[in-house]
Amino acid sequence: MSTAEGVATGEAVLYETTPTGVAVLTLNRPDRLNTWGGDIATAYYSSLDRAEADPAVRVIVLTGRGKAFCAGANLGSTASASESLAKPDQPNLNELVGERQPYHLTMLSKPVIAAVNGSCAGIGLTQALMCDIRFAAAGAKFAASFARRGLIAEYGVSWILPRLTGWAVALDLLLSGRTFLAEEAAELGLVKEVVAADRLMDRVMEYAEDIARNCSPASMAVIKRQAYGDAMRDVAQSSAQAEILLQESLQRPDVIEGITSFLEKRAPSFPGLSSPDTEGSS
């Protein structure tokens, strides 16, 4: 991977790119298990904007440095957390969470892959679930621990979790707040693959670079809009919308290149996205 400017070890989120067009965002607060705070939120959304705007970037990978992916919110010490929550005015959640919420990932035009290298809890779990695809290190711990902290199912987790697992499993995880391992997460459909910890990033990068080399950025952008948009539509609306999008896709050079490269038994050479807004209806 090529190291981009500003990737000093003190940065809250490290940003690197590969020649094939994979941007790797690494949460970089290992001393506190990458718990979510304003420093990470600011750097994280800035890095996402950077990857989304770069025509050379085709896939985004999100991971954590050290023993954790993101072990929840950074509440600080018991005293500081109690003092903050006891204030007469409502706490400023934007200072902790950031000005955007985790579902922002579903609105990006590029696929986002989570490489869950360790503990993934609370808002860290929500961020991982809002990624399009998830891999996990063997033995990594997951928890929707909100009820055990006196909280509610926050920031869209009650929307995404039932869609990934079904109602019964989602309610089990949300109401119990129990800890479960990567292996169970894969059985429940939350994780695509469980990989030995020392091979996690190699496997994720292999998968991401295959997508970057062989899948049309324009097609992937539209497919993401379809998938998340169709979650709110009935089947007739989804089918009608797909017909419109199909007609639009036939006007793009990607189709000719995709078919030609298949017939010629060679890797395709798809153009990148010229802007975050891909042609076509949403």
pLDDT tier at 281, thresholds 50, 70, 90: very low
Mean pLDDT of 159-165: 93
Return the minimum-mean-pLDDT range out of 80-84, 250-254, 269-273.
Answer: 80-84
Q: Note the pLDDT tens digit of each residue in 213-226.
A: 999 999 999 999 98
Q: How far is CA 63 from the centre of its chain?
A: 9
Q: What percent of the chain has pLDDT over 70?
A: 77
Q: Note the pLDDT tens digit of each residue in 45-80.
A: 999 999 999 999 999 999 999 999 999 988 764 444
Provide the angle, in degrees to the nearest 10, between the axes of the packed helices 157-165 and 123-130.
60
Our CA angle for 280, 209, 159, nearest 5°, is 55
Element (H, E) at 182: helix 182-187
d(CA 115, CA 138): 11
Domains in the chain (CATH in brackets) are 13-75+93-212 (3.90.226.10), 216-264 (no CATH)
**Partners of 2 in the β-ladder:** 17
User: What is the model's pLDDT at position 17?
Assistant: 97
pTM over 0.85: no
Residues 6+ away with beta carbon under 8 Å from 145: 72, 121, 122, 177, 179
d(CA 199, CA 218): 30
